[in-house]
């Protein structure tokens, strides 16, 4: 009897799902007019920087720096290594003028050598400007926003917390980043100026990192930092120390010297996105996080973002909400279904949405650019292209079929295999898109550009046949689909 009951439940679920999808299709046909992006490729902007391991730059995030006091350029572009075997790292390039003109970009190294950052008494020696060697390794997939004159940059590290968790670092100048964590209790003691300053770091080279127990005794642990992100030891002043911005080793005692500073997530230090894979779907991977000020009227959070929720071929996604960009609440889990609101074997990858391209179209619907493709973990061939997707005001529901706006180039093109990590800025009525193109069986990455506009879509465009949903209802019958949106 139990088996028969389960069969009935599966059938009912399948019928309900198919009816829902048919309703989606007919709704799409009825509202197919609207707006769509028209983009044109501009070619190569930045090749693999010297010293960056192959395949090269990965996961770009373009930031307008007009709110950053004294920052000498209009734009900053942060990007990382691509699945590096070592520590990874975040690179910085800067630009004045159009961000889709290759000649306008210079590396942080070039800008620093030209004296552009001489107003800073302490700054990174060279790219990469940030590597988190404290908690996990392989610092990658940055995403940044400016909030109140501070750059909030999220990234993920392998081996942090339950897996490849997302962490947070901040910077008051756009170059010197400190992990958001602090002392009290056992483990590492840190401060707003970074771990190195709290522990008496002397800049580049090995320093003593200490752990504290209730007795106040400490034991040194050797750790090598690439460079200091904080004030020099010899440059500390009583005023700075009184503000809780610097700590000499002799000041370390049985109690936290800066009790006003507390860990944002208990003992997990700056980990902001995390879950237990024993309790929820996925392997613990919450990387590839992208976020922004909330554009959705149906979401009651100041900031929203999307991330992975488990990696590998059986990946899922998650939507998060926050009111301070530090503490995040999971709002929704997403399944990965081929052909759902996209052609054939492609999958809507919400974590790859360009948040800068989200535009409110009215009537509870928004459009955005998103990189979408096939299942491509590990060494499998990846095919990623840029689509526009349409979202309801809850930030979750897809309201119509997506539409390809920028496809792969020919076999020898720099973007023959992938267009990913898209990020954008609007200047006047022109959209400037930056993305990472890939070729050579994922062995060569190049930062590339495109420009375009958001134009009105002619009536009837975007309709698609009911046959597009063939097999989709059957795919939704698997037992792990309950409670997940595609």
Residue 287 pLDDT grade (very low, low, confident, very high; cuts 50, 70, 90): confident
Tell me what percent of the chain is helix, strand and coil, each rounded to the nearest 5.
15, 35, 50
Asked if residues 37 and 385 have their Cβ atoms less than 8 Å apart, the reply is: no
| pLDDT at 23 > cutoff 90 | no
Mean pLDDT of 430-436: 98
pLDDT digits (tens, 9 = 90+) for 88-141: 899 999 999 999 999 999 999 999 999 999 999 999 999 999 998 877 778 989
Residue 310: the pLDDT is 82
Residue 260: the pLDDT is 33
Looking from the CA of 9 toward its CB, the CA atoms found within 13 Å total 9
Residue 265 pLDDT grade (very low, low, confident, very high; cuts 50, 70, 90): low
Residue 230 tokens read as 């904080």
The phi, psi pair for 73, rounded to 5°, reads: -130, 160
Residue 31 pLDDT grade (very low, low, confident, very high; cuts 50, 70, 90): very low
Residue 4: the pLDDT is 43
> Which residues are CB-contacts of 25 (< 8 A; sequence separation ≥ 6)?
464, 466, 468, 469
Residue 268: the pLDDT is 53
Q: What is the mean pLDDT of the chain?
A: 74
Please tell me which residue, 347 or 338, carries the higher pLDDT value.
Answer: 347
b (16+ CB within 10 A) / e for 448-464: bbbbbebeebeeeebeb
Residue 343 pLDDT grade (very low, low, confident, very high; cuts 50, 70, 90): confident
| pLDDT at 470 > cutoff 80 | no
The total of other beta-carbon atoms located within 10 Å of residue 10's CB is 13
Residue 240 pLDDT grade (very low, low, confident, very high; cuts 50, 70, 90): very low
* Residue 397, CA distances (Å) to 32, 349, 381, 416 in order: 16, 13, 29, 31
Q: Which fold does the domain 34-181+263-481 belong to in CATH?
A: Tachylectin-2; Chain A (2.115.10)
Of all residues in the chain, the percent with pLDDT exceeding 70 is 67
Residue 280: the pLDDT is 86
CA-to-CA distance for 223 and 206, rounded, in angstroms?
A: 6
Q: What is the CA radius of gyration of the chain?
A: 24
């Amino acid at each position: 009897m139990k088996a028969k009951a389960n069969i009935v439940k599966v059938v009912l679920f399948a019928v309900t799902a198919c009816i829902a999808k048919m309703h989606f299709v007919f709704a799409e046909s009825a509202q197919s007019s609207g707006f769509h992006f028209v983009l044109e490729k501009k070619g190569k902007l930045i090749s693999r920087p010297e010293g960056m391991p192959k395949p090269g730059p990965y996961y770009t995030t373009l930031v307008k720096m007009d709110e950053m006091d004294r920052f000498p350029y209009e734009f900053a572009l942060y990007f990382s290594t691509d699945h590096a075997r070592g520590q990874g790292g975040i690179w910085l390039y800067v630009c004045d003028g159009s961000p889709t003109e290759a000649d306008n970009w210079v590396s942080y190294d070039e800008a620093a050598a030209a004296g552009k950052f001489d107003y800073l008494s302490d700054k990174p020696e060279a790219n990469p400007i940030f590597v988190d060697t404290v908690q996990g390794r392989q610092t990658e997939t940055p995403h940044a926003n400016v909030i109140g004159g501070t750059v909030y940059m999220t990234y993920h590290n392998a081996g942090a917390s339950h897996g490849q968790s997302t962490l947070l670092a901040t910077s008051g100048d756009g170059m010197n980043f400190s992990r958001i964590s602090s002392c009290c209790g056992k483990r590492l003691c840190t401060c707003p100026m970074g771990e190195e300053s709290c522990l008496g770091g002397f800049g580049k080279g090995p320093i003593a990192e200490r752990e504290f127990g209730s007795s106040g005794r400490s034991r040194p642990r050797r750790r090598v930092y690439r460079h200091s992100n904080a004030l020099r030891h010899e440059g500390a002043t009583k005023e700075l120390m009184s503000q809780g911005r610097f700590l000499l080793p002799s000041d370390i005692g049985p109690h936290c010297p800066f009790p006003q500073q507390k860990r944002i997530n208990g003992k997990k230090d700056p980990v902001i996105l995390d879950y237990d894979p024993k309790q929820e779907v996925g392997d613990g991977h919450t990387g590839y996080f992208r976020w922004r000020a909330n554009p959705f009227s149906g979401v009651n959070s100041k900031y929203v973002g999307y991330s992975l929720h488990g990696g590998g071929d059986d990946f899922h996604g998650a939507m998060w909400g926050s009111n301070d960009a530090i503490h995040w609440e999971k709002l929704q889990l997403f399944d990965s279904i081929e052909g759902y609101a996209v052609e054939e074997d492609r999958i809507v990858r919400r974590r790859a949405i360009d948040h800068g391209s989200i535009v409110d179209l009215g009537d509870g619907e928004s459009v955005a650019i998103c990189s979408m493709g096939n299942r491509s973990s590990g060494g499998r061939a990846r095919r990623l292209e840029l689509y526009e997707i349409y979202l309801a005001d809850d930030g979750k529901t897809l309201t119509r079929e997506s539409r390809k706006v920028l496809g792969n180039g020919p076999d020898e093109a720099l973007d023959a295999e992938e267009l990913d990590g898209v990020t954008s800025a609007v200047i006047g009525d022109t959209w400037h898109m930056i993305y990472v193109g890939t070729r050579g069986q994922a062995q060569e990455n190049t930062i590339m550009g495109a420009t375009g506009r958001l134009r009105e879509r002619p009536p009837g465009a975007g309709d698609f046949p009911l046959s597009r949903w063939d097999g989709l209802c059957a795919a939704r019958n698997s037992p792990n689909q309950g409670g997940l949106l595609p």
